[in-house]
Amino acid sequence: MFSERIVKSLAGGSAIRAMFEQGNILKAKYGEDNVYDFALGNPDPEPPETVIDDIRALAGKPGIHKYMPNAGFENVRSSIAEQLCAGSGVPYTKDSILMVAGAAAGLCIVMEALLDPGDEVIVIAPFFGEYRPYVTNFGGKIVPVPALAGTFEPDVPAIERAVTGKTKAIIINSPNNPSGAVYSEEVLRRLADALDSAEKRTGNTVYVVSDEPYSKIVYDGVRVPCADAIFKNSIIVNSFSKSLALPGERIGYAAVNPRIENADVLMDAMIYCARTLGFVNAPGIFQEIAARHMDDAAGLDAYRARRDALYGILIDAGYECTLPKGAFYLFPGSPVEDDVEFCKKALEHNIVAVGGTSFGYPGYFRLAYCVSMKTIRDSAPAFRSLMEEIREKKRKNP
């Protein structure tokens, strides 16, 4: 009596949310201070005070709580277009911008507007697991292509080989969830050349959907290349959940590159899909917040300190891990072959992590370090004892 497709999907579910629930069970049993929960990318810092002040001021602005054009307030879209143009040189206008209820909504809108049944969407593993339903909900097929081990940069030749006559899009996510990798401009330009070659081979356009919620969370002088300047057929999807620590407010935007052939038709299709999917308008107050705080980043210094602290704990305990350049995740190698079993063993030490299998990249596990520094520091003995237990088991059972 229910949708068979959805009921079958429940079996896979969200590994991130499942481990989050396991963490809550452990906290209820042992106390929150005795559980080291790194499952969920839920920003620990509060939004900047300037954002809070603007929320208070905007709450009384006449008209802000009413319906607006489905694409969003015109002044907001104009402001975002100007700021994007200044950064990339791409000639956006307000008619290139759709305000959306977070990046998840934006990605769903883009996928529905692009896909026909049977179309393929390439994703670079490791990838955010929810990309699967974002694609399959609209009849598409997801095609994972593993990134290069160690750097987690795109394997350009493998991606070119994966393009077929049914390929409609590729999703790139840099800074990447879960690896923290930031794709270099050189690699992205090689990818652009590869896609051009593949398009000539197949006769089809491949749209590049750049999922960028972590674009402001980067470290050590790293710069995130502008995907829209590199890929002509690009659609940028961004949110302020991470950059402004506003995940509960669901606000973001989708920007259609005006160089796309029939870009106006794509925009009209996305606006239609936003409405018919139920995202009639993005939240009014937070549209204004987004435009005013596009270049702000909440908690960047805190994230850098927490990254370095947790990375140091892992390395000292004997784990192998690449230092991430962005986002707020570590993606260490699992010390046992089965990363799902490793995460179950970690729970016995009150460590809550998510296996790399759920990100399409087995043999690793994800730790979200957007938690308190106390949680990170207190976790050190648990990570050591977990590794010691695994090493002892390997000695006894070589």
Domain positions in the chain: 4-47+298-396, 50-292
End-to-end CA distance of the chain: 51
Reduce the DSSP state of residue 300 to 3 states and report it. Answer: helix
Q: Which two tokens stand for residue 327?
A: 């986002």
User: Does this model's pTM top 0.75?
Assistant: yes
**Phi first, then psi: what are they for 207, rounded to 5°?**
-85, 135
Condensed to tens digits (0 to 9), the pLDDT of residues 257-308 reads: 999 999 999 999 999 999 999 999 999 999 999 999 999 999 999 999 999 9
Please tell me the CATH superfamily of domain 4-47+298-396, with its number. Aspartate Aminotransferase, domain 1 (3.90.1150.10)
Condensed to tens digits (0 to 9), the pLDDT of residues 74-117 reads: 999 999 999 999 999 999 999 999 999 999 999 999 999 999 99
Q: What CATH number is given for 50-292 in this structure?
A: 3.40.640.10
- Determine if the peptide bond prior to 126 is cis (ω within 30°): yes
Instruction: Report how far residue 106's alpha carbon sits from residue 99's, in angstroms, rounded to the nearest whole number.
Output: 8
What is the rounded average pLDDT for all residues in the chain?
94
Q: Which of 289, 295, 287, 292 is nearest to 100 (CA)?
A: 287
Domain 4-47+298-396 and domain 50-292, same fold? Reply is: no
Q: Which residues of the chain have pLDDT under 50?
A: none
